[in-house]
A and B are shown apart, each in its own frame.
Chain A
């Protein structure tokens, strides 16, 4: 049957869903509505290779216009301002109407903003999209001292890039460790040391009391009365799911759009995928919301299958990475619910991994190493957590013993 399928949100989850639907359904109309005037593109390089001029805008697009044309996937740049779920309609601010039979919401997430005095609102920069990355890249050219507010993935990746551009970088983090929301302290401390070795200043446990603008620079007053002088301010303090459009509708929201393991929301024929979805994970038996490359892709694909009528449960094990300097950090599974930690390796040149176990079963792992050194073992861990495997701890802790055997039949 020929349906109208609309994908609201032109990011990674949206494009992967669209292509998956087309693979399973050659007839239906598929239309992606994107707010940015750009085809879907990769975001991870924005804070790294794009700032460092190692990748250009053209390198970032997932698929070309030709691919979308060939697969008969429409892409429109439009901003939807109202949703009528009952009558299956979307409206623009000019009251143009889009009808759908099935709707996928993949609106992603947006940056949390600092609460600042009016005169400073345009002085703090954020990085989520290509436009913002271009702005930062351009503006830092003639700046020297850069302050980054927030010691999470994005802040530290920018800190790493700007350090490589010979900037004097200070990172201010309110918590008592870097990347505290998801990364175990053992690995966070190793990352901190690398930043210090490269000359970045890391300030933990401090809050900003006040930012004072002085001609071309700023003074940042911290809650211990210390003062930091800086030429440029960037903030990366987390994100929230983009759900404003749905706040006064029947769509069930709870830290994003509540979705089951089939990407279905509380409203029939409405699906959600990617950052915006707080989905039920059968393995963890609870809802989780993830913001990662792998999740956006795989959740989009899963939603695409379900929309096309191929009932598919989403059971993907969380996996994420961050690249800072020449290091690659990876995390898989759940690392905050454990009763035992096992360490593998003690030198980041060969990779250091911490495994997190509960009731002897591996729940997750987090590792750091020179590019590529922890990837295989982290990947194997993903597979082990999928199967609730009980593993010989000796093998986990001895870097001379390969983990490959653990997943071979």
Chain B
């Protein structure tokens, strides 16, 4: 596993608990979440229509799309509620010295 795929997102205190931030890297965009039990990352765009999930609402382990209320599980990426039916891609996250890193393939 190459270390260079771990990309620094920012410091842990840049995300409030039960919230998320948008993170752009090269031509890709992601959402990075802070849940009660840790940090998680998914693709940034909803799989239903081209809207960024950064404006969505985080509740427990779920992110709800701000446009049409499709719901995804943040940890597994599973689409839980229509109109979303295609799962959201998730990415590994690690915290090192109060900095968040995500592993982009």
Contact = CB atoms under 8 A, between A and B. Distances in A.
Contact of A42 (B16, B18, B57, B83): B83
A294 B56 contact: no
Interface residues of A, number: 21
B19 interface: yes
Given A328-B67, A371-B67, A376 B82 contact: no
B18 A408 contact: yes
Contacts, number: 53
Contact of A375 (B16, B19, B67, B83): B67
Nearest to B65: A375
Interface in A368-390: 371-376, 379-380
A379 B81 CA distance: 15
B14 interface: no
A372 B64 CA distance: 11
Interface string B39-78: 0000000000111101111100000111111000000000
A196 to B, nearest CB: 24
Contact of B69 (A323, A379, A404): A379
A62 interface: yes
Interface residues of B, number: 20
A41 to B, nearest CB: 12
Which secondary structure dominates chain B's binding surface?
Answer: loop
A321 interface: yes
Given A42-B83, A297-B82, A408-B18, A380 B57 contact: yes
A319 B69 CA distance: 10
A321 B57 contact: no
Contacts of B52: 372
Interface string B1-24: 000000000000000101100000
Contact of A372 (B18, B51, B82, B83): B51
A376 B56 contact: yes
A297 to B, nearest CB: 6
Given A62-B82, A328-B67, A371-B67, A379 B57 contact: yes
A39 B83 CA distance: 16
A281 B85 CA distance: 29
B44 to A, nearest CB: 11
Interface in A183-236: none
Tell me which of B51, B52, B68 has the highest count of chain A C-beta atoms within 10 A of its own C-beta: B68
A380 B69 CA distance: 12
A317 to B, nearest CB: 12
26 contacts: A42-B83, A62-B82, A319-B69, A328-B66, A371-B49, A372-B51, A372-B54, A372-B56, A372-B66, A372-B67, A373-B55, A374-B66, A375-B55, A375-B56, A375-B57, A375-B66, A375-B67, A376-B56, A376-B66, A379-B57, A379-B64, A379-B69, A380-B57, A404-B19, A404-B58, A408-B18
